[in-house]
Structure 1
Amino acid sequence: MGRQGRGSLKGRKRGMGLAAGAVAAAAASTSFFSMGSATVSHSVPEWQTFLFHDAALELSAFDESPLTSAIDLLTEAGFDGGSIASELVARGVPGVSFVMDEMPAEPSEKQAAERFCLAQAIYYEARNQPVTGRLAVADVVLNRADDHRFPSTICGVVFQGVGKDYACQFSFACDGSMDKPREAKAWEQAEKLADLVYRGFRPAVTGFATFYHADYVDPSWSRRYDETQVIGDHIFYRLPDSIELAAADLGMAAAS
Structure 2
Amino acid sequence: MALGLSTYAFFWQWSERATEPLSLERMLQKTRDLDADVFQVCDYPPLERRSDAELRELWRIADGLGIRLELGTRGVRPAHLRRFLHIAELLGVTLVRTMIATAGDHPGDNEAEGLLREVLPEYERAEVTIALETYEQVPTSTLVGIVERIGSPRLGICSDPANCVAALESPAELIARVAPHVVNMHIKDFAFTRHAGWIGFSLTGAPLGEGLLDYAGMIAAIEPEERGINQIIEHWLPWQGDAETTFRLEDEWTAHNVRYVRSMNT
Q: TM-score, normalised by structure 2?
A: 0.26
> Which has the larger share of strand?
2
Q: TM-score, normalised by structure 1?
A: 0.26
